[in-house]
Structure 1
């Protein structure tokens, strides 16, 4: 049997040999009733693990830990787990109706890589049904005892690899059980066993995924009799869990899927994922760190079975509490270094002319006391004057005695605005308070421009096309009011820089159209400069037929393509590239 599993263990030859020895050593001696450990849970016990998943994580600080867990499993051994005969099942009671396991564990983690753990389970109470021996199942004795001890378990784990960013890990572990338990309470196996496993995990940030799998070498056991045919031997064990840290990792929620199945053929049976030899359970759980240093932890969980194999519980509940201590907590502290008191003399210190506590060498105003006020409470200077208390210093405040109203329009000048855009429509009545317009009785149009519109995408929409004399750059007089609205907007929004871009349809040669579009855009720019807009706030270019917005195959499409566009360059930095590429 040991040779058959050699390929599973790779380079871990020493651990493999140890597992083979334990499995061979565990062959039972003849006995009246050879029962076994019914509880399928192998709890981890380390502070950062879940209940069933053995993570490859090891603390970077050397520490020892301890914890105790109390559980309950409902109907862990049912009639369908011990016999394949339907008629026998119907005449049997559930052999074991409940178990209350108590797990006591402790261990050490050291060198940021290794863990050693010892665990001893107890079974303070087992609730049996009627002994199925009368139905030809087992050799009697099931339920003779109501309490007992489990097998002693010794673990050795190692973190083999960890990624550079400490998100991924791979490890291995060897677990050995020593026959210590009370077989009549299904607390112990008839011989020693060894579990060799590999584990891995990855931290995805919002959640952690971890799992392990391995081979459990066990002595042959089971429940026989005339009608009993539960055969137990070497097993494949596995567990996978997902964990969600919350509240700065003080609370962690998780879900684990775990179980085992036999991998040993006995009596011409193949129990691999067979009904009676396969355990699959899910367990939802939470962990809460109880103290400020996060050294005391409380775990709680519950789940049900997903298979009918022996040991699978209809309901499983678990709760544990534990703690850990660092090795450094017990190291003798070095005595504090003696403090040498130096006599204070004025010549030892830099002068502080204004007496504000800031030496002149770092005081930006050595002759004026620091007042501790914003925006620079520690530069050694009093804060600048702000008579109206609006947070804009008088030196920058155009209205130092009238507080800024911070209404979203012109809030940097320090003045309250009644009519920000200067169109004679008060801001509280103006539907477009940052765009000059005319009074209007239409809903939503009072104080708004009628020929242009400032869009959220950083363009000034022209609602009526700007027209030029045919084949020329001369702007028609009917289009001048459109440009005047754009000019009025720029005089109010002095922070805007605008790009003026000309376009044509595809009639005529491309070279002429590009030249014409450039000259028309430049003509618009000159008109706006003549009306008082600073030259450095404007730029112009033309693209001819290269950037149509409609089909050039129709009259209406060509009309739409002959246009002048206004783009606010400093409102959205990539718009210039968007319009010019």
Structure 2
């Protein structure tokens, strides 16, 4: 009986012990995150942005010592994770000059610590995937030659897809909005990075207050000083954490160096120490790696371009202002002859006077042609020898008086207007038309502006119409005037146009269609004063609109016609006589020019 029971206990006991063994809860242990664009610091955002279309891919291997340690009374400190080697991949791509996408992916390659017998916890996995992070950075301001700051904001999201056993995953999503500010001071750039990490709050083990610390929300602050303008650059990074949910604070100091191998490859290494009890803060950390892509930093205000060290600078004066390529003691930025050795007193140029005019070449605007000092060493240019300098001569190849800007007085079309004031120098025309001839479509020597029959030749005495026709209107500057007894008749006390008026209105249609230069015409209907004024205005408006409809039906564009009923308000004769009243009962056609209002038509 005792034998079978003992056998069962012997087989079940290890499983019962394992079942009772405390374990670590899932959380992201790694505290190191990279600056994917790395235009300034490798670890701290400084407000800098890649240019549109540029990308950078970085691969970093790093080792952290004692990133997770527990302390127990009477037992000292025991490393749960004594050493951790991680491969960290980061990439950045600039969608525009102001918008940059960044991604990071840590992978735990090796992780070791004390065994279960000492820690009382299950050992974490030796390798696994960390928490991938995706961020979008928006550049707000750029430092320029006049000063200012580099300012950017970013929102990043950590995805809970890492390895729980490898301490590479929180229990949910993690978020980190951040603000980055930076400024260049000559060959030094300084920056500050402040972010709020929002992550699931949890105690990572059940060992109690004397066990492993909590994790939760925290404020992450980073500062950096970096050198600029050289292939070999140095940086000093400080990264700290201020807890917001009961955990311990921490900080890391990480100085390092980076070297630009060529325009597409950079290598770097950093090492530093950590202080504080927050999980993930190592006793020391060492990291090294390389970046590929658009890794040559752009030249900032007050900086020397790294291209000067690479030998790829195109404009040595602007890109390498603090270099002295000709060795004359005058820096390129202020050396007027940066490729020739000269004197400091001559701005870095040698003394030379090629044209022997007594003015040094460095001060001579025309060093190969003798001239006087008043023209900065240049001779007087006067190609046509008219004593008017070519720079002030409107006709440098033709002699002319100075009062005519060096041009000869000419009048090719013999219209009495000089060519330089004649808008049509090859066609005679009156001065009021700036020397251009008047339009005459039918070539009858009657200008279109007064030609009632613009498409048929006729004498001016007949309004430009053929002699067999009797025009019923004339074209005046302000109106189409009815002539030869023409008048528009309506039915008594009504608005219907009498048939005998159709021939008159057809002449109006003819002129409007043949003269598109007439912009608009106000069809004005008038009455005598017999009756109530408001009734007369209303009936005259109806008559004006009836005439407008007739003209539109005959092919005149509606936007060229405005109907106005004036009633008795604008008499042209006395209403005391029957003849006067007859004259006041009329329809007129006033021309409205550009800029005039139809309501103000005379």
TM-score after normalising by structure 2: 0.44
Please identify the structure whose Cα radius of gyration is greater. Answer: 2
